[in-house]
Amino acid sequence: MTNELRFFDQIIQIPKEDWQRLIATDYPFLQYDYLLALESSKSVGQQTGWQVNHCALINQGQFLAVMPGYLKTHSYGEYVFDFQWANAFHSAGFEYYPKLITAIPFTPASGPRIGIDSSVDLEVFIRSLNEHLISIYRNQSISSFHMLFPTQTLSRVMASHNMFSRSGVQYHWLNDGYADFNDFLAKCKIKKRKNIKRERRCIAENNLQVKVLKKDQLTEDIWRRFYFMYQLTYMKRSGHGGYLTEDFFTSLSQSNELNVMLIAAFQNNEMIAASLFFYDAKNLYGRYWGCVKEFEFLHFELCYYQGIEFAIKHLIDKFDAGAQGDHKVARGFYPVKTYSNHWIGNPKFRQAIYQYVSQEEKIVDNVIQETCLSLPYKNIESAMKA
C-alpha cells in the first residue's frame, strides 16, 4: 500500500495518542491540547477565517506524519506579513485567498511544524505535500502555501523543495548561565544597568505585589479577569477585542501537557495587570498581556524582567517574549532571525515574490547587525556572535 496524504477539518479526527507520538516534543504550541483548545473555544474555524485543515500522512490506517494546517481567507493573526503580495494578486485580477498555511494561530513562536515517525524520511512527506499543492492549485482551490516560524533546520529542508525561505527579526533573551538577575545585570553597561534597576522600582513605588500563578491557582475567576484585561488592551491597541475567546484561556488549565502561568500584579488584592507565559524544558514564551491600570514600566516588569528571573531560576536557555518590539534590545534581548517558507502557485508571481524576499533578507541581516550595537552588554562583540 502507498502512503496517502489526508486532511482533517477537526483535530479530534486524529487520535491524540498518534499526534503526541509523532510530534515527540515539549514545544507547547504543537501539543494536541493547545490546538484542540483553539478549535473547541471557536478561536479558530471557518467563522474566523482560520478553517482547520490539518494534514496527515497515512499508510494502511497508520499515522506516519502530522502537520497543523489552516485554509485562510485573510492574513491577520499570522505575523509574517504578506498583505502586499495579496494586493499585487488582486491588482492583477487574481485571487490570493484562500491560501493554505501551516502555523500556530496567533502565535509567532518558532518551533517544529511537522511531527513524523522515525521510520519515515521527512523528504517523503514533503514530496507528497508538494504533489498535493500542485494538484489543488490547478483546481484553483488555493493560490499558495506558507509555513510560518519553522526552525531554521526545517526551513532549509523546505527551501530545497521549491518552498523559498523568508527571514524576519524577533528579540530573544539568551541565558548565559546567570546565577540570578544581579548576575545578568553585572554583564550590562553601567548606564543600562541603572536604567533597568530604575524601571524595576515601579513595583515598590506603586505598592504593587507580583505573583506567579500556575495550574490550580489559575481559577475561572482569574482567567475571567485576565480575559477582560486582554480584551481591553487589544481594544486600545488594535480596535478589536483580540483573536482568542474566554473559553480558550479557561481550557488551558485542564491540560496535563501544557505548562502555563500568569505573572500578575496586584494592588490591594485586586489583579490589575498580568502577562501570560508558556514554557518547556529549555524555552520560555511570553504570549499575552493585559491591564486595567497603567503604571510606567509595569509592562516591562511583568513581560520581560519577571520572565528573565523565571528563566534564570529554572535554567531555561531562551526567553521569547513575542513578536516585534525593538525596545526589548535595551533590556537584554538579542535580535535573532526567524523563518518562513512559501510556495506560490503562479510562476510569474513566484519569481517576483522570490526576488522581493531575496532583497528583504539583506535588509534583515543589516538590521540584526546594527541592532546588536544597541545591546546593553559590556562585551558587544561577544553579543553579536550569540
pLDDT in tens, 290-305: 999 999 999 999 999 9
Q: Which element (helix H / strand E) includes 214?
A: strand 209-214
Distance, in Å, from the CA atom of 344 to the CA atom of 356, rounded to the nearest integer, reads: 13
Q: Amino acid identity, residue 371?
A: T
Give yes or no: residues 83 and 187 share one domain.
Answer: no
DSSP, collapsed to helix, strand or coil, labels residue 58 as: strand
Grid cell at residue 14: 486524529
Q: What is the pLDDT of residue 386?
A: 52
Give yes or no: residues 311 and 189 share one domain.
Answer: yes
Scanning the structure block, which residue is given the C-alpha cell 527551501?
Answer: 159
Give yes or no: residues 302 and 352 share one domain.
Answer: no
Give yes or no: residues 222 and 145 share one domain.
Answer: no
Grid cell at residue 338: 526567524
Q: What is the pLDDT of residue 42?
A: 98
Burial 29-64 (b: 16+ CB within 10 A, else e): bbbbbbbbbbbbbebbbeebbbbbbbbbbbeeeebb
Give yes or no: residues 256 and 162 share one domain.
Answer: no
CATH number at 146 reads 3.40.630.30
Report whether the peptide linkage leading into residue 98 is cis, meaning its omega lies within 30 degrees of zero. yes
Residue 355: Cβ-neighbour burial (10 angstroms; 0-12, 13-18, 19+)? exposed
Dump pLDDT digits (tens) for 22-80: 999 999 999 999 999 999 999 999 999 999 999 999 999 999 999 999 999 999 999 99
The DSSP output letter for 161 is: T
Q: Is residue 236 part of a domain?
A: yes
Instruction: Check: CB of residue 88 under 8 Å from CB of residue 131.
Output: no
- Please count the CA atoms within 13 angstroms of the CA of 330 that sit on its side-chain side: 13
Task: Read off φ and ψ for residue 320, nearest 5 degrees.
Answer: -100, 110
Give yes or no: residues 240 and 308 share one domain.
Answer: yes
How many whole angstroms from its chain centre is CA 223?
21
The DSSP output letter for 333 is: P
Q: What is the pLDDT of residue 129?
A: 96
Q: Is residue 64 part of a domain?
A: yes
Scanning the structure block, which residue is given the C-alpha cell 481594544?
Answer: 235
Q: What is the dihedral of CA 232, 233, 238, 242, to 10 degrees?
A: -70
Q: What is the pLDDT of residue 382?
A: 57
The total of structural domains in the chain comes to: 2
Question: Which residues in the chain land under pLDDT 50?
Answer: none
Scanning the structure block, which residue is given the C-alpha cell 483553539?
Answer: 38
Distance, in Å, from the CA atom of 292 to the CA atom of 272, rounded to the nearest integer, reads: 5
The DSSP output letter for 93 is: T
Q: Is residue 155 part of a domain?
A: yes
Q: What is the pLDDT of residue 385?
A: 53
The chain-wide mean pLDDT, for the chain, equals 96
Give yes or no: residues 24 and 116 share one domain.
Answer: yes
Q: What is the pLDDT of residue 383?
A: 55
As a whole number of angstroms, the longest Cα–Cα distance in the chain is 69
**Domain span at residue 345?**
4-169+336-372
